[in-house]
A and B are shown apart, each in its own frame.
Chain A
Amino acid sequence: MSLPERSVERAAFLRELKRVLPEEALLSDPEDLRPFECDALAAYTVLPWIAVLPETVEQVRAVLRLCHSQNVPVVARGAGTGLSGGALPVADGVLLSLAKFDRILEIDPANRMARVQPGVRNLAISEAAAPFGLYYAPDPSSQVACTIGGNVAENSGGVHCLKYGLTVHNVLQVSLLTVEGEPLTLGSLGLDGPGYDLLALINGSEGLLGVIVEVVVKLLPVPETARTLLAAFSSIEAAGDAVAAVIGAGLVPAGLEMMDNLTLRATENFVHAGYPIDAAAVVLCEMDGMAEQVEAEIARARRVLESHGATEVREARDEAERRKFWAGRKAAFPAVGRIAPDYYCIDGTIPRKRLAAVLGRIGELSEQFGLAVGNVFHAGDGNLHPLILYDASHPGELERAEALGEEILTLCVEVGGTVTGEHGVGIEKLGPMCVQFGAPELRQFHALKAAFDAGGLLNPGKAVPTLMRCAELGRMHVHGGRLPHPELERF
């Protein structure tokens, strides 16, 4: 959607912002704007027109009203740890940082909930809840730094999703400001809200529908015990089958993760977790809960893994070793980052049963493109993270890595999966979105967006590609033999 003409001059707009914001909350010098030029998808950078760091909801309202009245785009930003460019600024828009909204407003142990500002770090919630024996379950690998507002915007996952769900399953209420600066409360402090489930819709909406100013999250009792098995396999196929067998046996592990040999070696060199580096793949399987429950479930999981071809099944002897097993998994990205100058992380989800076939095909594509690929897999929920290794200083290699990434995502869609499991579409996966969705679905997304933000000012150009862009890219979602955009001329 093309933006309406903005007539306001930068200097004039800054003067207006100065009337509603303290001096230190307003950044316009290129040097000050530099830290906001990208998020964790650092390959894309744009210097924002202006950046603001308000401290009160009233200030956010004033900024939104001003932007809305002058047709100025707004991009909200939390910690900037997103991997899909969702917080990439727009050159003619305001970058709205929620970083100063970092207060935990209330921990309510009787109702097992926490009311927090959007800039509170994910891990800080669990730390504040710990004295009450409670914690916040979703744990993205970036949980030390990422903020809850960003988690809601991206519907972030983590290694414990299979049992405890995604962000959408753990948020009770969200207060947001509309593009006009109107306050809205979605959900309730009960387990559901009145009217449409707009709370579910806000989760994962990538900042396109509103600006989140407060979140109430559900807290869970800290499990009494957690125990972790590490199983080694001589082939990826056997590991994939074993994962399916664990689920098929009626077990719901708190975590069920897989790493291939390349990732395993890189990680072992990095954290020395004691991984069996000759294995083709390892599976980490964690059970948590009451001690007796965990005892029974670990015993069953061990039997299933052993009877499905594990060459070795080992249990973490103590808490220190258990943490080490996970430290390795959570450090897989940086570990791979040490063996290649650059890596590009893909985030497709596939039905688990297609794992062996998909990994086989990724191996072929890797050879064809001449780029190594390591695979980390949230095996429990089918979320695959191929890490494409490349060297950006070699001309054309980044483009080759991106092309390989898109091939992999197309493959994920072909086997019945999706182009993004937990990292979001952002700026990065607009092309693959054209593969996954046809024109009618994309039109429906745009209509929904317009219901919240008719002028298209909130985070423009992200998350949902325009029909024109899909046609230009020549990426065709072919469904039932129909071409997806019959109304558009071909280029």
Chain B
Amino acid sequence: MHSQDDSESLAGRVAEACAQGGPLRILGSGSKEFYAGPCAGRLLSTRTHTGIVHYEPTELVLTARSGTALAAIEAVLAESGQMLGFEPPHFGSGATWGGTVACGLSGPRRPWSGSVRDAVLGCRIVNGRGEVLSFGGQVMKNVAGFDVSRLMAGALGTLGLLLEISVKVLPRPECEITLCFECPFAEGRERMIRWGGSGLPVTGLAWDGRLHLRLAGPEQAVSTAVRRIGGDRAGEGDAVWNGLREQTHGFFAGEGDLWRLSLPPAADTGDLSGSWLIDWGGAQRWLRTDAGPAEVLAAAQAAGGHARLFRSANPPAMRSAPLAPALAALHRRVKAAFDPAGILNRGLLPEVF
């Protein structure tokens, strides 16, 4: 695998921009640019900053530079029978490690194997002053100092340029089976609640008009679970999960606004109408609707969660509900603590800035 350490030059570029006050637009392959939103500034690419710095299968830890291809990392893990537990979406063949962590998006396995931030153990970053800093490490348990590493996950590069990220990885299950059930949403929701709390070895639970259940573990455990539950082995195998992860599922086709709602799994969204796809056992819901943003955002908040306009042909400036004033003010102070000149990915996180 290609390996090159650009830490020094990347830090130099940030320090220079800090001195001159010129904003920077940090970019890997751009596969998730649609999600992060528009951002002005001189391009600072992480693409040549590549390589797996450290991987020890018996430690369940991998460290890679931010420009490393996500696909390459997954291939190396697969060789040792391991995987990223958070099953991140690529949304493009060039998806990089840095973009994966900066966007903080997780796939169908997330409720059972944890999110990107759950897996993060440590990082090396360049803060907005151009300083190279290390936080966390390569061990599972570490409470020395504030947990800056996990704060970086999902921060869209607004707090620092990610140089290296260490994560906990997981063994691949010995056996995986997907079952499929014809049922309307009301019944699907009831089963999701029941199975989600059952102790069965569930690693995927989604409803798209049919209910899909993925079971994983040792062969005999999976077959026992199948016997207990019944249901049909899905003809399409595990294709549905990849379709959910990469949004290649038919539901995602088309140009209309796509909302993501993050909710308590059993939440009732009341009168909010539209076309729904339910993932994460009910905790992540995709919605296509004619309802206005105010209605969607309010319904998500009323249900105890939050919503974000995930894809849109004409994205408005406000894609999620503004944070409460005290929380927004705190966000601005946290941003300033890392990036006092406000040069890193300026304009991302519009609910704050």
Q: Are B265 and A441 in contact (CB under 8 A)?
A: no
Give the CA-CA distance A330 to B196 in the complex, in Å.
Answer: 30
B113 CB to closest chain A CB, in angstroms? 10
Say yes or no: is B201 at the interface (Cβ < 8 Å to chain A).
yes
Given A188-B304, A353-B58, check contact A421 B225 (CB 8 Å). Answer: no
- Residues of chain A from 333 to 389 with CB closer than 8 A to chain B in the complex: 349-353, 378, 380-383
A225 CB to closest chain B CB, in angstroms? 9
Q: Are A192 and B115 in contact (CB under 8 A)?
A: yes
Q: Are A444 and B143 in contact (CB under 8 A)?
A: no
Residues of chain B within 8 A of A252, CB atoms compared: 170-171
Point out the residue from A222, A224, A381 that lies within 8 Å of B139, measured CB to CB: A381
Give the CA-CA distance A155 to B57 in the complex, in Å.
Answer: 26
B224 CB to closest chain A CB, in angstroms? 4
Given A182-B326, A351-B59, A424-B143, check contact A201 B150 (CB 8 Å). Answer: yes
Give the CA-CA distance A192 to B320 in the complex, in Å.
Answer: 14
Residues of chain B within 8 A of A247, CB atoms compared: 58-60
Give the CA-CA distance A165 to B115 in the complex, in Å.
Answer: 12
Say yes or no: is A203 at the interface (Cβ < 8 Å to chain B).
yes
Given A190-B263, A191-B110, check contact A290 B225 (CB 8 Å). Answer: yes
Q: What 0/1 pattern do residues 383 to 411 of A give for CB contact below 8 A with B?
A: 10000000000000000000000000000
Give the CA-CA distance A22 to B237 in the complex, in Å.
Answer: 64
Give the CA-CA distance A456 to B320 in the complex, in Å.
Answer: 33
Given A222-B199, A418-B137, check contact A433 B145 (CB 8 Å). Answer: yes
Give the CA-CA distance A351 to B140 in the complex, in Å.
Answer: 9
Residues of chain A within 8 A of B267, CB atoms compared: 111, 189
Given A188-B304, A252-B170, A296-B220, check contact A448 B351 (CB 8 Å). Answer: no
Which of B12-20, B28-36, B126-134 touches A? B126-134
Give the CA-CA distance A300 to B153 in the complex, in Å.
Answer: 35
Point out the residue from A178, A300, A422, A445 that lies within 8 Å of B143, measured CB to CB: A422
Q: Are A196 and B155 in contact (CB under 8 A)?
A: yes
Q: Are B217 and A155 in contact (CB under 8 A)?
A: no
Q: Are B262 and A188 in contact (CB under 8 A)?
A: yes
Q: Are A221 and B217 in contact (CB under 8 A)?
A: no
Q: Are A184 and B327 in contact (CB under 8 A)?
A: yes
Q: Are A196 and B337 in contact (CB under 8 A)?
A: no
Say yes or no: is A244 at the interface (Cβ < 8 Å to chain B).
yes
- Residues of chain A from 425 to 476 with CB closer than 8 A to chain B in the complex: 425, 429, 433, 436-437, 440-441, 444-445, 447-452, 463-464
A310 CB to closest chain B CB, in angstroms? 17
- Residues of chain B from 99 to 156 with CB closer than 8 A to chain A in the complex: 104, 110-111, 114-115, 117-118, 127, 131-135, 137-148, 150-151, 153-155
Q: Are A183 and B199 in contact (CB under 8 A)?
A: no
Give the CA-CA distance A203 to B104 in the complex, in Å.
Answer: 18
Give the CA-CA distance A44 to B2 in the complex, in Å.
Answer: 52
Give the CA-CA distance A394 to B308 in the complex, in Å.
Answer: 63
Give the CA-CA distance A134 to B197 in the complex, in Å.
Answer: 8
Q: Are B144 and A289 in contact (CB under 8 A)?
A: no
B77 CB to closest chain A CB, in angstroms? 12
Say yes or no: is A194 at the interface (Cβ < 8 Å to chain B).
yes
Given A111-B264, A133-B197, A197-B151, check contact A418 B144 (CB 8 Å). Answer: yes
Q: Are B262 and A184 in contact (CB under 8 A)?
A: no
Say yes or no: is A128 at the interface (Cβ < 8 Å to chain B).
no
Give the CA-CA distance A250 to B351 in the complex, in Å.
Answer: 42
Q: Are A452 and B220 in contact (CB under 8 A)?
A: no
Say yes or no: is A166 at the interface (Cβ < 8 Å to chain B).
yes
Residues of chain A within 8 A of B326, CB atoms compared: 178, 182-184
Given A110-B193, A190-B263, check contact A292 B133 (CB 8 Å). Answer: no
A379 CB to closest chain B CB, in angstroms? 11
Which of B88-96, B238-246, B269-277, B328-336 touches A? B328-336
Residues of chain B within 8 A of A182, CB atoms compared: 326
- Residues of chain A from 186 to 223 with CB closer than 8 A to chain B in the complex: 186, 188-198, 200-201, 203-205, 221-223
Point out the residue from B141, B154, B174 that lies within 8 Å of A196, measured CB to CB: B154
Q: Are A201 and B151 in contact (CB under 8 A)?
A: yes
Residues of chain A within 8 A of B220, CB atoms compared: 292-293, 295-296
Say yes or no: is B184 at the interface (Cβ < 8 Å to chain A).
no
Q: Are B141 and A383 in contact (CB under 8 A)?
A: yes
Give the CA-CA distance A451 to B331 in the complex, in Å.
Answer: 9
Closest to B149 in A: A200
Q: What 0/1 pattern do residues 245 to 268 of B give for CB contact below 8 A with A?
A: 000000000000000011111110
Q: Are A169 and B118 in contact (CB under 8 A)?
A: yes
Quick one: which of A198, A221, A293 has the most chain B CB within 10 A?
Answer: A293
Say yes or no: is A66 at the interface (Cβ < 8 Å to chain B).
no
Q: Are B58 and A223 in contact (CB under 8 A)?
A: no
- Residues of chain A from 109 to 154 with CB closer than 8 A to chain B in the complex: 109-113, 132-134, 154
B297 CB to closest chain A CB, in angstroms? 10
B181 CB to closest chain A CB, in angstroms? 19
Say yes or no: is A267 at the interface (Cβ < 8 Å to chain B).
no
Given A169-B118, A420-B143, check contact A248 B217 (CB 8 Å). Answer: no
Give the CA-CA distance A353 to B54 in the complex, in Å.
Answer: 14
Closest to A225 in B: B199
Residues of chain A within 8 A of B203, CB atoms compared: none
Say yes or no: is A297 at the interface (Cβ < 8 Å to chain B).
yes
Closest to B127 in A: A444
Closest to A109 in B: B197
Residues of chain B within 8 A of A133, CB atoms compared: 197, 199
Q: Are B137 and A416 in contact (CB under 8 A)?
A: yes
Residues of chain A within 8 A of B141, CB atoms compared: 157, 161, 166, 349, 378, 381-383, 418, 421-422
Residues of chain A within 8 A of B262, CB atoms compared: 188, 190-193
Residues of chain A within 8 A of B140, CB atoms compared: 161-162, 349, 380-383
Residues of chain B within 8 A of A166, CB atoms compared: 141
Given A252-B171, A352-B58, A441-B135, check contact A195 B147 (CB 8 Å). Answer: no
Give the CA-CA distance A134 to B326 in the complex, in Å.
Answer: 35
Residues of chain A within 8 A of B224, CB atoms compared: 290-292
Say yes or no: is B44 at the interface (Cβ < 8 Å to chain A).
no
Point out the residue from A110, A203, A464 that lies within 8 Å of B145, measured CB to CB: A464
Give the CA-CA distance A378 to B141 in the complex, in Å.
Answer: 10
Given A109-B197, A425-B144, A429-B144, check contact A188 B172 (CB 8 Å). Answer: no
Chain A positions within 8 Å of B, measured between CB atoms, are 108-113, 132-134, 154-155, 157, 161-162, 165-166, 168-169, 178, 182-186, 188-198, 200-201, 203-205, 221-224, 244-245, 247-248, 250-252, 289-293, 295-297, 300, 349-353, 378, 380-383, 416-425, 429, 433, 436-437, 440-441, 444-445, 447-452, 463-464
Can you spell out 6 A-B residue pairs with CB atoms less than 8 angstroms apart? A109-B197, A189-B304, A291-B224, A296-B217, A296-B219, A436-B144
Chain B positions within 8 Å of A, measured between CB atoms, are 56-61, 81-82, 104, 110-111, 114-115, 117-118, 127, 131-135, 137-148, 150-151, 153-155, 159, 170-172, 174, 193, 196-201, 217-221, 224-225, 261-267, 280, 283-284, 303-306, 308, 320-321, 323-324, 326-328, 330-331, 333-334, 336-338, 349, 351-352
Q: Which 6 A-B pairs have the closest CB atoms?
A: A293-B221, A189-B304, A250-B171, A381-B140, A296-B218, A190-B262
- Further 20 A-B residue pairs, CB within 8 A, beyond A112-B197, A289-B221: A111-B264, A111-B266, A133-B197, A168-B118, A184-B326, A189-B267, A193-B262, A195-B349, A201-B146, A222-B199, A247-B60, A248-B57, A292-B221, A296-B219, A351-B138, A381-B141, A420-B144, A433-B145, A436-B144, A444-B338
